[in-house]
Amino acid sequence: MSRAVLSIGSNVGDSVAHLQSVLDALGSSVVAVSAVYSTAPWGGVEQQDFLNAVLVADDPALDAPGWLRRGQEIEAAAERVRTQRWGPRTLDVDVIVCDDLRSDDPHLTLPHPRAHERAFVLIPWLDVDPDAVLPVGGELQRVENVLASLDESERAGVRRTEFALNRRSR
C-alpha cells in the first residue's frame, strides 16, 4: 500500500468546498483528516488567510508520482491557476511524505522541502498522527519537536476553525 500525507489549502472562492473536494475525489483512500485551520498567508504575498487541513490516504494503485498527479488533477478540477508563487489559489494539494520515500526529483521532492518550516502543515498533521515523524536535515525527527522549534508567531498564526471536512463513501 502507498501511504501519503497530503497538505491541502485554499483562500479563493468557497475554500471549505474546495478542501472537501479533495476528500470527495480521494474517496475511500482517505484514512484520516485533520480539523480545518485558518492560517495567515506564507511567502510574503499580500492576500487573505488560507484554510488548511492535512489528510492521510492509502492507495495501493498510487506511487509518489501518482499522488502528485492525482493532487494536480484535483487542483485542476478546482480551476487552480498557477500565476504567482505562494499567491492566492482555489486549491493547493501538496504531497508532504509518501511512505518512507526520499526523492530529489525536481518535480516531486520528498519529503516536502519546506514542511518542517510550516506550522500550517505540522499542526494539522499532529491532529491525524500524534506520533508522526519527518526527515529534517537527514535525521528523522518527531513532528511535535519540529513544531516546537518554530517561532511562536508561526505557531500562533495557525488557528483551529469550526469547519469540518467529512469522509464520504463513494
Annotated domain spans of the chain: 3-160
pTM as predicted: 0.92
CATH of 3-160, one of 3.20.20.30, 3.30.70.560, 3.40.1530.20, 3.30.70.270: 3.30.70.560
Non-local CB neighbours of 108 within 8 Å, separated by 6+ positions:
64, 65, 68, 95
Kindly state the cell numbers that stand for 145: 519537536
pLDDT score of 170 more than 60:
no
Q: Which of 141, 147, 109 is nearest to 125 (CA)?
A: 147
Kindly state the cell numbers that stand for 153: 508567531
Query: What does the pLDDT look like over 96-139, one tens digit per residue?
Result: 999 988 988 888 989 999 999 999 999 999 999 999 999 998 89
Q: Which of 17, 24, 1, 19 is nearest to 9 (CA)?
A: 19
- Please report, rounded to a whole number, the percentage of residues in the chain having pLDDT higher than 90: 74
- Please report, rounded to a whole number, the percentage of residues in the chain having pLDDT higher than 70: 91
- H or E element at residue 133: strand 133-136
User: 19 or 169: whose pLDDT is higher?
Assistant: 19
Task: Say what the pLDDT of residue 138 is.
Answer: 84
Task: Say what the pLDDT of residue 105 is.
Answer: 86
Please give the positions annotated as active site. Answer: 80, 89, 92, 94
Query: What does the pLDDT look like over 66-106, one tens digit per residue?
Result: 999 999 999 999 886 666 666 688 899 999 999 988 988 88
Distance, CA of 26 to CA of 79 (rounded, Å): 17
* End-to-end Cα spacing for the chain: 20
